[in-house]
Structure 1
């Protein structure tokens, strides 16, 4: 009788180990497929394919280095064109000039179209 109990315990341990390694194998397979999909499709979906970029200019226009960096990143990207979505009452002189210069540099590389959503006063137009 004791031999049967030992065999049952051994089988249960083997089954648990087998189940563990099956789960690890399935997770590894899913991770590998996800990585392969990102490498093949992910890069072309986000970087390689031409697209139309949209830049939102809203609120008070002021010195905003992050906005200028965004415009420069769009200029370097594979965007085929750019849509400016404007809803701004204007802003500071230096901020408006900084934005204007960044948009002029962008317009030299890509077609740019401005769409006024609400108001485009002062430095926003």
Structure 2
């Protein structure tokens, strides 16, 4: 049995096109041709996973069991890392995201920021 090397992340949502456009802006992805009632976005370099957005009738009611971590502070530590995360949070807030809380660095972990996308899905800036 071979190992799987590619995967996509699927979002249940109310407005697939709007959510796909949001995540394309967040990640620098591109919108491929429309897929009817669903939408997608893809990494133009082909390295990152494809994101797929499908319309469902019910709204989001509980915390995500899986979330995306947007690597905005890779290689940075301390105040420099926090400044990069806060700048990215401001950019994404302008796109409609909501900053939930800042988790400041401690003895074990570096800082990260918990966010919500335009449909309330949690994600982290780390």
* TM-score of the aligned structures, taking structure 2 as reference length: 0.28
More strand by share: 2
* TM-score of the aligned structures, taking structure 1 as reference length: 0.28
Structure having the higher Rg:
1
More helix by share: 1
